Amino acid sequence: MDHSTPPPPKRDTAAPPPSAPRLSLTDFVDLGTLQEIQDAFASVTRLSTTILDADGQPATLPTDAAKRHQSDLVFEQLIDIDDPATEGTVSETGAKQFQAPITVEGQTLGSIIIEPAGPSTDELAPDLHELEGLADALNLDEVQRQELIDSAELAFGTNRGAAIQFLYLMANAIARLCFEQYHAQQRLEELSVLYRVSTVLAGREDLQQTLDTAARAVADLVKVRAVVIRILKDTEDGPILERRANTGLSDDYINKGKLLVNRSEMLAAALRGETIYIRDMATDPRVYFPEQAREENLASMLCVGIIYQGQAIGTLQLFTDEVRQFTQFDIDLVRAIAQLLAAAIENTRLDEARSENQKMLRQLHLAADVQRRMLPRKMPDVPGYDIAARYVPSFELSGDFYDFINLDHSLGIGVGDVVGKGVAASLLMASVRSSLRAYAQDLYDLDEVISRVNKHMCRDTLESEFVTLWYGTLDRDSGRLTYCNAGHEAPLIVRNGELIPLDIGGMIVGVDRDQAYDKGVWDFQPGDMLLLYTDGLPDAMNAQGERFGRQRTEELLLSVADKPANDALNDILWTVRQFTGPRRATDDTTLIVIKAE
């Protein structure tokens, strides 16, 4: 075994950041525990032992003399003036002493000092029971326990370097104990800060209020000079980071210029999730406006992205007026705050969008109410005819319509289907209905009525907008139905078990302004049933994606031909509902049933 003198364990000698709080042993280990550790160490080593605080003052009471007899024999093995690896220092009393620092995160919390207490000639031998007690006091695991025992055995042997190593082992063991408490305190502090930030952000309904509150809270909790929150915004020059909230900065600095993302790799990196640290803003080439930073007396900056579910929202920037080396704890804390802020911003945006949607829904309800009022409030009274109608929209607003127009000696009957759904379709439907009513009152020939409506639609609509339209007039006295079908689903007449489509007319309305239309005629006889419908009936679809289809429509009409108009209409709707099941209708459905008595 190599008994050469090993070097002391490597210690963190980096200076703590200027703004870091001063740490002490008693921040992590209470005095009673330190005293127990010191007494256990003295009992094992038989050395006069003292634990000092960060200021070099004793943190513990002197160990009972009975626990440290035979000290000079051990100490003689530690001291060798001719060996620089084991050279110690001289205390105020003139005694030779050795000191091992206790460090955590680069900060010296205290130290352990050993020195002889007086002459003794007893044999030295490590006591395993006492070593176990020391390990318990230090809360060591099995590997660390064995390391302690091995070091103690070497320390009391002939290897003076091993004895010094044992001293440093004890210092490091205490440091590990402190670090566990330090780490736990950091996590507790982080949770406390995050809780306070989340409490501050909770319940904010206005986005600007959320951002202003967050900026002030972060500056206060992280102890920095200034905080700026920027949000991504698209402009003609490309995406920029627009300032939305700040605290601690002058208006001149805030309004210094645009921050274009595509011209700054630093900003782009932050938006990708990287952490950007600048030690000196006045000299770092990555800084956009170094001269303004110098005038503002800004020193260091920390910048992290505000990112929600992988989507960049903006950046959170922290500024100090003195150079500050942010610790990993600082960085982790700021990144966690940025995540909270991202969620708060997104939630606020969702709340605002939800509020806007509610306003829109109220407007849609009003529009739907207006649209429903455009439909006939009651069925027309035509002697010898039983009439029923139903309108079933798939959305709040619909592109379907039906209408009854009272003329001098006849009843005008119209049904139409505007392309699309929702607001645009409902507005177009209202335009078609108004146009049809206006021309129906002034013109006698149906083909001319439809032609005028077509020209009106071609003038006022886009190329992608069109309407299928069926319009007819029923002579109250003769029972003659004159009609024109402009690309609509052909209505079906049932007579004596046979189906006759009413399909004479022309192409859809709103495409070709020069389109000519024809008209057809049907003379009602008692027992005839007419079904007018929009494509929502044959296009109804079940869960398997199967359409109701024209064949089922025809078979269904034949099965209800002997029933009154309202009963027949209800049976049709019920059958279609059974076919589709719980699947929501994807198209509007309008039905009119006319039964000649």
Which pLDDT tens digit goes with each residue over 377-390? 899 999 999 999 99
Does residue 158 register a pLDDT over 80? no
Identify whether the C-beta of residue 50 lies closer than 8 Å to the C-beta of residue 60: yes
pLDDT of residue 60: 80
Residue percentage of the chain with pLDDT more than 90: 33
Confidence of residue 426 (pLDDT cuts 50, 70, 90): confident
* pLDDT on residue 572: 95
Element (H, E) at 403: strand 400-406
Q: By the 8 A CB rule, do 221 and 196 touch?
A: yes
219 and 111 in a common domain:
no
- Strand ranges in 177-335 using DSSP code E only, listed in sequence order: 226-235, 238-247, 276-278, 301-308, 311-319
Q: Are strands 238-247 and 48-53 parallel, antiparallel or unpaired?
A: unpaired
Confidence band (pLDDT; 50, 70, 90) for 557? Answer: very high
Instruction: Please state, rounded to an integer, the average pLDDT across all residues of the chain.
Output: 79
Residue pair 387/594 in contact (Cβ under 8 Å)? The answer is yes
Question: For position 330, what pLDDT does the model report?
Answer: 83
Distance (Å, whole) CA 227 – CA 249 = 8
pLDDT of residue 472: 95
| Within a domain: 193 | no
Do 575 and 474 share a domain, yes or no?
Answer: yes
Say whether both 73 and 174 belong to one domain: yes
Q: Per the domain annotation, does 440 fall within a domain?
A: yes
- Which helix (H) or strand (E) covers residue 486, if one does? strand 480-486
Q: Give me the domain span that covers residue 331.
A: 207-352
In a domain, 456, yes or no: yes
Residue 58 DSSP class: B
* Residue 1 covered by a domain: no
- The CA distances from residue 222 to 108, 214, 336, 356, in Å, are 23, 12, 12, 36
pTM of the model: 0.52
Which of 109, 585, 166 lies closest to 391, judged by CA?
Answer: 585
Half-sphere exposure of 207 (CA within 13 A, CB side): 17
Let me know whether 504 and 379 are in one domain: yes
581: left (phi over 0), alpha (psi -120 to 50) or beta: left
CA distances (Å), origin 112, targets 25, 109, 376, 426, 579: 12, 11, 98, 86, 87
Which tops the pLDDT comparison, 116 or 279?
279
* Region of poorest pLDDT, from 133-147, 457-471, 579-593: 133-147
| Cβ partners under 8 Å of residue 251, min gap 6 | none
Decide: helix, strand or coil at residue 388.
Answer: strand
Query: How many residues belong to the chain?
Result: 597
Q: Nearest Cα to 550, choosing from 564, 533, 562?
A: 533
Query: What are the pLDDT digits (tens) for 468-502?
Result: 999 999 999 999 999 999 999 999 999 999 999 99
Residue given tokens 């005095």 in the structure block: 31
| CATH number of the domain bearing residue 245 | 3.30.450.40
Q: If we measure between CA atoms, which residue out of 424, 340, 411, 339 comes closest to residue 382?
A: 411
Given a cut of 90, whether residue 520 has pLDDT beyond it is yes
Position 16: which residue type? P
CA distance 233 to 557: 59
H or E element, residue 595: strand 589-596
Cα–Cα dist 411/402, whole Å: 13
Which pLDDT tens digit goes with each residue over 26-59? 777 777 777 777 777 776 666 677 888 877 788 8
Are 102 and 174 in contact by the 8 Å Cβ rule? The answer is: yes
Task: Give the pLDDT band of residue 563 (cuts 50, 70, 90).
Answer: very high
Q: Last residue of some domain: 146, 165, 182?
A: 182
Tokens of 10: 């490597």
- pLDDT, residue 72, reads 38
> Are 292 and 397 part of one and the same domain?
no
What is the distance between the alpha carbons of residues 430 and 329, in angstroms, rounded to a whole number? 64
Both tokens of 188, joined, read: 């507790």
Give the pLDDT mean for 217-224.
85
Contact 391, 376 (CB under 8 A): no
- 348 and 482 in a single domain? The answer is no
361 falls within a domain: no
Assigned token pair, 417: 């289907």
Torsion of CA 133, 136, 138, 141, to 10 degrees: 130
The last residue of one of the domains, among 134, 167, 182, is 182
Q: Domain count for the chain, please give it.
A: 3
Same domain for 110 and 235:
no
Six token digits for residue 3: 């008994």
Burial class of residue 498, CB neighbours in 10 A (0-12, 13-18, 19+): exposed
φ and ψ at residue 241, rounded to 5 degrees: -100, 105
DSSP for 298-366 reads ---EEEEEEEETTEEEEEEEEE-SS-----HHHHHHHHHHHHHHHHHHHHHHHHHHHHHHHHHHHHHHH
Average pLDDT over residues 253-281: 87
Residues 222 and 133 in one domain: no
Place 126 in a pLDDT band, splitting at 50, 70 and 90: low
Q: Which of 85-94, 420-429, 471-480 has the lowest mean pLDDT?
A: 85-94
- Domain membership of residue 148 (yes or no) is yes
E-state strands within 15-130: 48-53, 89-90, 96-104, 107-115
| E strand or H helix at 418 | strand 410-418
Q: Which residues pair with 229 in a beta bridge?
A: 245, 316
Q: Are residues 473 and 555 in the same domain?
A: yes
pLDDT category at 81 given cuts 50, 70, 90 is very low
Is 178 in contact with 25 (CB distance < 8 Å)? Answer: yes
pLDDT of residue 169: 67
- Residue-wise pLDDT for 184-198, tens only, equals 666 666 666 666 767
pLDDT higher than threshold 90 for residue 125:
no
Q: Are residues 501 and 585 in the same domain?
A: yes
Q: What is the pLDDT of residue 385?
A: 96
Asked if residue 202 is part of any domain, the answer here is no
| Overall average pLDDT of the 429-453 stretch | 89
Q: What is the structure's pLDDT at 66? A: 44
CATH number of the domain enclosing 514? 3.60.40.10
Largest CA distance in the chain: 141
77 or 521, higher pLDDT = 521
Residues 108, 171: one domain? Answer: yes
d(CA 195, CA 182): 20
Would you say the C-alpha torsion 191, 193, 199, 204 has a positive or negative sign?
Answer: negative
* Per-residue pLDDT at 204: 58
Q: Give the bridge partners for 155, in sequence order.
A: none
Residue 68 in domain = yes
Residues 524 and 492 in one domain: yes
